[in-house]
Structure 1
């Protein structure tokens, strides 16, 4: 029996010993193999030697130089090179200001065709389900066409040397239709030298309103003048007269915003208003800082000048045999000028003397509706930090100014935040309004079935903001009779001078334009103002009763509105109001300069309609739980 022997560290088993003996020979061969691998195959070594031969290096250098020269020539002389997109590259690269109108039109058409072709080509490579989403935006289409968006502007810088242009020179609020000293120079500075002043703006608008008054008098001589002739005359005058001002300040506010002053501008459009003076007094009396309030009022009155006989509104005088209201209009004395009443009161005269009250006057027969009057009023803004638009028959709660500032700053989207509501009502102005009730919510809408309103979207209030809300919550719409915002709103959503004679449609247009420009709309948590709502039977004058009075055409406003309101319906995406159909129907003039007052570029019309559950194609408004329940901050 053999015994196992222990292995010594220096003694190897037989197989291990044999492997060790063979090591020296194998190591030599492996070193040769590694050298061969590093050098590469023999054929490749020969090619490498040939490539790096000096002759070949020179040839490759000459070839590269030739290619560079060819590339340079192509870039500088592209007219003979066909573009893969079918666009004339020479035309596209040329400065557009140097192009003839026909060349520019050709370029725009070609670019549009290429963009459409590229989009269609991309869709052709998508699965069928994805194609459907690409065409519809991923959800059912809610509007009939895509309106133009506001273009990008390159605004002028502000004049840093200007010294309080909102105050110097002063533009006194009285008398009516004042003569502005040095008006021509002020207008020239406004339009051509980037030196705006409130006095220059007022002088500019009086020049325009004189022409408008003369136009209306001329139109009145022919009481059979076709409606579209009246509309065309207005649009031509307005475009010729107002475009220089609009162009001079596109893409910016007219004045720089005086953030540090923390002031509020209040825009007021007053049509034959008997509560204007009490409204101004209430606003100042109840403000925490009345010295930081500035008012821009547009006074549309029957002044009784040159033998003009003023008239009442339609007054209900009884019932006829069928039980329907009988109405009549009567002669009336000239309207009270609320500005005069206010400024002659010793308590408030200081505001009139110091530039806090800015006024434009026009005859009631030149009034073209609230949207146009608010356009004029917006131009009286002088750089105040906040912009507040309101009706001219309101009462105010204590410290309303401070509370609205705090409220809008609490909104999540501030400074792009708008407070808006239909205020609670009052019947008689008594100065006793305390405020503090829960703020109403603009959360519902309907497509009007009233033939006069041409199926325009009307907005309504539904519900109140919860009492325990920690901050303002979003709503769907802006009320034209009251909203409060940072004044950069005027840069993003400039008021449109091309919606005369329209009473409805103003609010949906403001809402969509603001939202697509990135602004969110909020309900204030508490009501700080109250509004006098006025049923028609009170017999107070309405602007549409004055339109056509000089020509003896009492229903003229309704006939004009049905054409002009297509401008708003086009913006909203009504299927019957595409540019082609509007032009075909002979209403093309109503889209004059439309793109400057159109939708913004930050959010889409489709997304707004989806959020607000408005189906323009089928003309339906659905309930918005998020709005009614105040769940969206």
Structure 2
């Protein structure tokens, strides 16, 4: 049993504060020391055109079709390396919330990894090019933490890609992604967007995410969310265009970012907030974000009544005084602190434990956070958004960091 799974079994009928405190204590004592050593002794990055694809799956019936689609549409399957964080239920399983709020008993989840390895691409599993970390659903700590775990399955591949487990793929999606990355006019580029719906015919010229908003829901604590992606109104082709944000469901980068902008092990149970956090961290570390100029993946966006990680929280922890929403409201202050929300200043955060090792997983040192906020139009004090017209127009932002490439567009 892993430390995280042990935590979920031992701590029963606690308050949200006690669960939060005990989690951070466990991670600080067990995982954090390992993570520090790992970051100092990471696998040597290869220059062999290999691609690592991190895919987190939570009880997802689309996991296997996603894997099969990725390989069958790959330009060079032997260069593909998948790291799957598979979070499944294996016994006493429940459905997601159905019509009328009902929850039913269901069969155990399909083992996506095992089924894939039995098929025509099984050689990739035997060769170690498809790797898996299996987590019982009771040990699931949300999508961001699953992506943290998935990043540790990387084994030196040249390129790093992150996708969701409910995706479709255009022919040669992998080679096209790498080409766009190499075409981007930056030494440290990231190609990223919300892919179009899975019904797409892959004839589009790429999409971009331009419009953020401060979440109006009380349970999201005014965290910055990203609006939907949109096409470039007939523009496209040529070079990938500068973008303001990273989308968690599709991005590709040179794998060196894993050392410079490591995933944060102190962000459990987070759903909203990971994208604005990664966007700002990457940009301040000197990475430039770009929208793809060609659609290469599709995404299944509507998954009603399917199991969600937050539904198992209450069943697992039997907490007093609230469920997933309550603990997320505490932990999201870690993200808000790094983004300089005034209400999340250090002296205003009640649970100081959530700031453990924050300096090691915060903003970069290449560019100031203030420049990023100006570029994307975010006022963290007034909670106001100024439209990033440059993004809609498909041109570089009007700040000095992009003066050298302005004439390319």
Alignment of 1:376 with 2:156, yes or no, is: no
Q: Output one character per residue of 1:338-382: Cα deviation in whole Å (capped at 9) or x when no partner.
A: 11111111x111111110111111110110110000000000000
- 1:214 matched to 2:6: yes
Counterpart-to-counterpart distance in 1, 2:230 and 2:301: 19
Q: Does 1:591 align with 2:355?
A: yes
Secondary structure of the residue aligned to 1:381 is coil
State the SS of the aligned residue for 1:335: coil
Cα deviations by residue, 1:578-633 (Å, 9 ceiling, x for unpaired):
11111xx2x10000011110000010011000111100000111110111111115
Q: 1:486 aligns with which of 231, 239, 254?
A: 254
Partner residue of 1:436 out of 195, 198, 203: 203
Which residue does the alignment assign to 2:15?
A: 226
What residue in structure 1 maps to residue 57 of structure 2?
270
Deviation at 1:211, TM superposition (A): 2.0
Q: Is the 8 A contact 1:253 1:488 kept in 2?
A: no
Q: CA deviation at 1:402?
A: 1.1
TM-score under structure 1 length normalisation: 0.61
Deviation at 1:383, TM superposition (A): 0.5
SS at match of 1:618: coil
What stretches of structure 2 of length at least 5 have no aligned partner? Answer: 397-404
- C-alpha separation in 2, matches of 1:438 and 1:422: 13
Q: 2:88 matched to 1:328?
A: no
Q: How is 1:3-152 mapped onto 2 (pairs within 5 angstroms)?
A: none
Q: Distance in 1 between matches of 2:245 and 2:41?
A: 24
Q: 1:359 aligns with which of 105, 126, 132?
A: 132
* Structure with max Cα Rg: 1
Q: Is 2:14 the partner of 1:240?
A: no
* Structure with the bigger percentage of strand: 2
- CA distance in structure 2 between the partners assigned to 1:381 and 1:229 by the alignment: 33
Measured in 1, the distance between the counterparts of 2:229 and 2:35 equals 37
Count of matched residue positions in the alignment of Structure 1 and Structure 2? 395
Alpha-carbon contact 1:298-1:377 (below 8 Å) kept = yes
| Bigger RCO of structures 1 and 2 (CA < 8 A, at least 6 apart) | 2
Q: Distance in 2 between matches of 1:550 and 1:565?
A: 21
Superposition deviation, residue 462 in structure 1: 4.8
Q: Is the 1:548–1:556 Cα contact (8 Å) retained in structure 2? A: yes
Q: Give the distance between the partners of 1:557 and 1:255, measured in 2 at CA.
A: 35
Could you say which residue in structure 2 is the equivalent of 1:622? 386
Q: Residues 190 and 288 of structure 2 are in contact (CA less than 8 Å); yes or no, is this contact kept in structure 1?
A: yes
Cα distance, 1:436 vs. partner?
Answer: 2.9
Whether contact under 8 Å (1:253, 1:491) holds in the other structure is no
Local SS of the residue matching 1:515: helix
Contact 1:408 1:418 in 2 (8 A): yes
Q: Deviations over 1:315-354 (max 9, x none)?
A: 11xxxxxxxxx22111111111111111111x11111111
**Residue 56 of structure 2 contacts residue 85 of structure 2 at CA under 8 Å; is this kept in 1?**
yes
Contact 1:398 1:434 in 2 (8 A): no
Distance in 2, Cα, partners of 1:301 & 1:540: 13
Distance in 1, matches of 2:354 and 2:250, equals 27
Superposition RMSD in Å: 1.5
Which position in structure 1 is the counterpart of 2:42? 254
- 1:600 aligned partner: 364
* Consecutive unaligned residues in structure 1, runs of 5 or more: 1-208, 317-325, 428-432
Asked if 1:446 is matched to 2:213, the reply is yes
Cα contact 1:425–1:533 (8 A) shared by 2: yes
What TM-score does the superposition give when structure 2 sets the normalisation length?
0.94
1:511 aligns with 2:279: yes
Check the 8 A contact 2:237/2:294 in 1, yes or no: no
Alpha-carbon distance, 1:493 to partner: 0.8
Indicate conservation of the 8 Å contact 2:205/2:237, yes or no.
Answer: no
1:300 aligns with 2:72: no
Shift of 1:469: 4.0
TM-superposition CA deviations, 1:189-245 (whole Å, max 9, x none): xxxxxxxxxxxxxxxxxxxx622212211112xx2x221111111111111111222
Alpha-carbon distance, 1:551 to partner: 4.1
Cα pair 2:16 2:319 within 8 Å, conserved: no
Is the Cα–Cα contact under 8 Å of residues 463 and 628 in structure 1 kept in the other structure? no
Superposed displacement of residue 400, structure 1? 1.0
CA distance in 1, matches of 2:165, 2:237: 30
For the residues of structure 2 that align with 1:506 and 1:330, how far apart are their CA atoms?
A: 31
1:279–1:394 contact (8 Å) kept in structure 2? yes
| 2:222 alignment partner in structure 1 | 455
* Equivalent residue for 1:419, pick from 188, 191, 194: 191
